[in-house]
Structure 1
Amino acid sequence: MNHPAMNSATPAVPQVPLLDDDTIAFGEEDNANKQFVHPYIVFFHLVFRCSAIIVYILCGWFSDSFIASFVLVILLLSADFWTVKNISGRLLVGLRWWNYVDDNGKSHWVFEARQSRVNRNESRLFWMGLTLCPLVWSTFFIFCLFGLKFKWMLLVLIALTLTGANLYGYIKCKFGAKESLKSATTEFMKQQIFQNAPAFMFSQPTPPNAGNTGVV
């Protein structure tokens, strides 16, 4: 005699879909719970651009030489531009932008976005430093413009150019990569439709083989 419990169907365990955002890649298990994965990169991402602003504000208190202050700020801005463009953007948020010249002498700009997990704290500090510093330099530009300090305005314009270039490049990487992929896919589908539609419309149907029909 069968026990009633043996005849009852075992309830199915509900299958919960695994979200892509919860998937941890192989080798990243130890980094998932860390507050900062690249602490030194975060430090150098912020130290050069913040130092340039501090030196610009306080240079008049320590030196009366405009040339020395100008050169020091330019060196800090150059170090910041190189670090943000080549190191911190790639490691902290998985973005990279660069330029190359082909054999015909034509310049090409490339904006890349890597599909991988990024540390939330590092990403927040990266974008905060990337966006706030150009705003600070824009404020300095307004002060120089209304104060008629044209020699300092030149330095501020250089700072805006360097920091703004990185800001534009990484915004293009983050938001322009998806649009580029979508437009490339759309163009590919259009090309395939226009190429295959005439052949499909004007193709002649293949007559059936009499030997395989079974008709005597």
Structure 2
Amino acid sequence: MQRQDSHETPLFGDDYENKPRKSLIRHPLASFFHLFFRTSAILVYLLCDVFSSGFVVCMVTIILLLSCDFWTVKPNSKVTISSADSQIFWLGLIVCPIFWVIFVFSTIFSLKLKWLAVVIMGLVLQWANLYGYVRCKVGGRSNLGNMAKNYLGVQIFKQAMKANQNS
């Protein structure tokens, strides 16, 4: 039985082999801008020395691009979202902060410390966006804490049961 699209957005989608390619992405414009702003900020950082020698211009451009991503793609509970939309959204949300983490380390190791502020801003903006959406998806702070405690409790219980069986 195949799941119908709903207000609940899956982290990674169902199998849509039988559907035509056109129906996979219901919101191509939102998906495009979500990835456009994120990848543009990464490309501006990587190609900053080629396009402009101005540090401030590059920094402001990167921050504006990441801010545009934050304000462009907002959740709307009245819109049905396909599995493909959800996959694009979550992959973009998860992969881009990984690039900024890599940039932090490469900036430190290459001793380009003036760029460290830009990279940290990029990481903070991307991480805040990821954290906000994960928190909305999973629940509030208390729910995250309770989930972690429950998971740890179950793991400890399993280990204790395993130890009892081996004794």
TM-score under structure 1 length normalisation: 0.54
Residue 9 of structure 2 is aligned to residue 46 of structure 1: no
Name the Cα RMSD after superposition: 2.7
> Which of the residues 58, 72, 81 maps onto 1:69?
58
Structure 1 segments unaligned to the other structure (5+ residues)? 1-18, 26-31, 95-113, 184-216
Q: Does 1:146 align with 2:135?
A: no
Structure 2 unaligned blocks of 5 or more: 8-18, 147-167
Match of 1:21 in 2: 3
Describe the superposition over 1:110-142 as per-residue Cα deviations: whole angstroms up to 9, x where unpaired: xxxx8x853010000000000000000000000
Over 3 Å counting, the alpha-carbon distance change for 1:139 and 1:37 in structure 2 is same
Percent identity reads 42
Once residues 3 and 93 of structure 2 are traced to their aligned partners in structure 1, the CA distance between those partners, rounded to angstroms, is 25
Counting only pairs closer than 5 Å after superposition, residues 1-216 of structure 1 correspond to structure 2 as 21-22=3-4, 34-84=23-73, 87=74, 90-91=75-76, 94=77, 118-176=81-139, 180=143
Counterpart AA for 1:65: G
Runs of 4+ in 1 over 3 A off after TM superposition: 19-25
Q: Which has the higher contact order (CA 8 A, sep 6+)?
A: 2
CA distance in 2, matches of 1:134, 1:24: 28
Letter in 2 for 1:171: V
Q: In structure 1, how many angstroms separate the alpha carbons of the residues matched to 2:35 and 2:108?
A: 27
Counting matched residue pairs gives 130
Contact 2:97 2:127 in 1 (8 A): yes
Q: Which structure's CA Rg is the greater one? A: 1
For residues 48 and 168 of structure 1, the distance between their equivalents in structure 2, rounded to whole angstroms, comes to: 18
Deviates more, 1:33-42 or 1:54-63: 33-42
Relative to structure 1, is the Cα distance of residues 42 and 22 closer, same or farther in structure 2, using a 3 angstrom cutoff?
A: closer
Structure with greater strand share of residues: 1
Q: TM-score, normalized by length of structure 2? A: 0.68
Greater helix fraction, Structure 1 or Structure 2: 2
